[in-house]
């Protein structure tokens, strides 16, 4: 079964009966729209859009952009996109409402944890310069995005991500929201069984979900997580400490990190590249190369690239680029990460990419997850497998 109950921790926002009912309703509504209503777009395309395009151009659409130009004019697509976007905003609002009700308490708890005896650490940078692509964008329509830090000790961004992403993914990442990290650790064992990482870095740790998975899978390692948002990191730290996971969180831009050269055996960048700019992706690979020890591994996970995917499925998977405040989504899925790795200094013969363990497998959830995620506009999107790009130094 999909995990529908999130594992409690010290800063997990609670929900009143009314808040829980609203969140559950939005969850079910989202599922219904995704599974039962958006697939109708394929019928609209096959029956109307494609024949009309073929008649005018005497050929099928060459790429997703040509399909999108036609589909955005279709009332059915406008309706389903509007439903999806509205449900997304309703979900964030419902979660935010419950967070704001208890925010002073959550801040107190996080501060008390940070002041007490800890096994990990939290290092914020008061002079941190927020990258523009994060500052000026509310990724996946999250109010305030990753950068909002609105009052002393704020933890809203972390709480929003932890609760919101759990509902948004319908429990897909597991009760601890750590499936991405656990799956990545399984991938490390698969591709580099010789590598027993003593020091690990996760780039883009957000609320500490995937970092927690790495901590569980590599309990002996000295584990560091970096992100740009202070409110994310305060939350991530309190969350990890309350579960006894020793993780060192730092506010740092992955494009220019302050770690010494050759510090880490494993650098992970999980579900993060699509939320950085194209330039940042090149810079992050360079920094990963610099920070890795010889013999170390840089492992990224992402949704699979668009190459080799037919234009309709590319169009379906590109919905977020235009409707979900994910401006880099399409670009990163078009990028040849091997070229990026080589430009950063990595040896092309040590590069690999392909499918590997996914979140469902990592949390031993059943294939129900895969089935439910298969029906987005009548096409495959998400599911039990993850896609990885990795390179050893």
Ligand X SMILES: C[S@@+](CC[C@H](N)C(=O)[O-])C[C@H]1O[C@@H](n2cnc3c(N)ncnc32)[C@H](O)[C@@H]1O
Shortest Å, Cβ 356 to ligand X: 15
User: Which residue has the closest beta carbon to ligand X?
Assistant: 204
Minimum Å gap between C-beta 180 and ligand X is: 4
Q: What is the rounded distance in angstroms from the CA atom of residue 392 to the CA atom of residue 346?
A: 8
Q: What is the closest distance, in whole angstroms, from the C-beta atom of residue 283 to ligand X in the complex?
A: 8
Cα–Cα dist 389/393, whole Å:
14
Comparison of 87 and 332: residue with beta carbon closer to ligand X: 332
Residue placing its CB nearer to ligand X in the complex, 228 or 299:
228
Q: Which is nearer to ligand X, 32 or 135 (CB)?
A: 135
What is the C-alpha to C-alpha distance for residues 238 and 342, in angstroms, rounded to an integer? 38
Alpha carbons 392 and 209: distance in angstroms, whole number: 25
Q: Please say which residue, 249 or 312, places its beta carbon nearer to ligand X.
A: 249
Helix or strand or coil: residue 5? coil
Q: In the 3-class helix/strand/coil scheme, how is 257-288 assigned residue by residue? A: CCCCCCCEEEEEEECCHHHCCHHHHHHHHHHH
Give 66 or 138: the residue with its C-beta nearer to ligand X.
138
- CB of residue 273 to ligand X, shortest distance in Å: 9
For the purposes of burial, counting CB atoms within 10 Å of the CB of 68, is it exposed (0-12), middle (13-18) or buried (19 or more)? Answer: buried
* Nearest distance, CB of residue 222 and ligand X, angstroms: 19
C-beta closer to ligand X: residue 49 or 134: 134
Residues lying near ligand X in the complex (CB under 6 A) are found at 131, 134, 146, 180, 203-206, 209-210, 226-229, 232, 253-255, 270-272, 275-276, 280
For residue 277, the minimal CB distance to ligand X (Å) is 8
d(CA 306, CA 335): 9
Min separation Cβ 74 and ligand X, Å: 30
71 vs 180, beta carbon nearer ligand X: 180
Among 225, 214, 221, 178, CA closest to 196:
221
Q: Is 58 helix (H, G, I), strand (E, B) or coil?
A: coil
What is each CA distance from 115 to 22, 135, 314, in whole angstroms? 35, 29, 48
> Residue 385 corresponds to which tokens in the numbers above?
């497998």
Instruction: State in angstroms the smallest separation of the CB of 268 from ligand X.
Output: 8
Cα dihedral value 86, 87, 93, 97, nearest 10: 150
Contact 202, 225 (CB under 8 A): yes
Nearer to ligand X, 49 or 254 (CB): 254
**Distances in Å between the alpha carbon of 338 and those of 135, 186, 369?**
28, 22, 30
Alpha-carbon span 341 to 210, nearest angstrom: 23
The smaller minimum CB distance to ligand X, of residues 277 and 392, is found at 277
Q: Which is nearer to ligand X, 80 or 277 (CB)?
A: 277
Cβ count within 10 A of residue 283: 19
CB of 55 to ligand X, least distance (A): 42
90-104 burial, b for 16+ CB within 10 Å, e for fewer? Answer: bbbebbbbbbeebbe
Nearest distance in Å: CB 157, ligand X: 8
Q: What is the DSSP letter of 252?
A: -
């Amino acid at each position: 079964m999909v995990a529908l109950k999130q594992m409690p921790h010290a800063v997990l926002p609670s929900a009143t009966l009314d808040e829980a009912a609203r969140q559950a309703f939005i969850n079910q509504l989202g599922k219904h729209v995704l599974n039962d209503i958006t697939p109708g777009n394929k019928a609209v395309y096959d029956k109307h859009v494609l024949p009309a395009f073929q008649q005018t151009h005497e050929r099928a659409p060459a790429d997703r952009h040509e399909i999108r130009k036609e589909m955005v004019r279709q009332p059915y697509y406008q309706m389903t996109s509007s439903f999806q976007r509205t449900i997304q905003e309703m979900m964030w609002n419902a979660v935010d409402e419950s967070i704001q009700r208890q925010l002073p308490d959550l801040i107190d708890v996080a501060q008390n944890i940070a002041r007490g005896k800890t096994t990990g650490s939290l290092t914020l940078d008061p002079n941190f310069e927020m990258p523009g692509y994060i500052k000026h964008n509310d990724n996946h329509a999250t109010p305030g995005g990753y950068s909002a830090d609105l009052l002393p000790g704020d933890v809203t961004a972390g709480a929003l991500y932890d609760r919101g992403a759990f509902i948004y993914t319908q429990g897909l990442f597991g009760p601890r929201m750590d499936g991405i990290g656990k799956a990545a650790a399984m991938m490390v064992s698969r591709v580099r069984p010789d590598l027993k990482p003593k020091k690990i870095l996760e780039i883009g740790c957000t609320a500490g979900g995937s970092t927690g998975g790495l901590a569980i899978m590599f309990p002996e390692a000295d584990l560091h997580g970096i992100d740009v948002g202070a409110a994310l990191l305060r939350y991530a730290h309190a969350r990890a400490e309350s579960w006894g996971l020793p993780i060192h969180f730092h506010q740092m831009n992955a494009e220019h990190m302050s770690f010494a050269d050759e510090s880490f055996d494993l650098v992970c960048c999980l579900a993060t590249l699509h939320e950085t700019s194209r330039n940042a992706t090149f810079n992050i690979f360079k920094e990963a190369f610099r920070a890795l020890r010889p013999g170390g591994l840089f492992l990224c996970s992402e949704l699979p690239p668009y190459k080799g995917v037919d234009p309709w499925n590319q169009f379906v998977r590109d919905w977020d680029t235009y409707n979900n405040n994910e401006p880099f989504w399409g670009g990163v899925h078009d990028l040849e990460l091997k070229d990026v790795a080589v430009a950063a200094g990595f040896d092309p013969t040590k590069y690999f990419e392909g499918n590997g363990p996914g979140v469902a497998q990592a949390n031993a959830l059943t294939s129900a997850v895969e089935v439910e995620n298969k029906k987005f506009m009548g096409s495959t999107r998400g599911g039990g497998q993850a896609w990885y790009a990795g390179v050893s130094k």
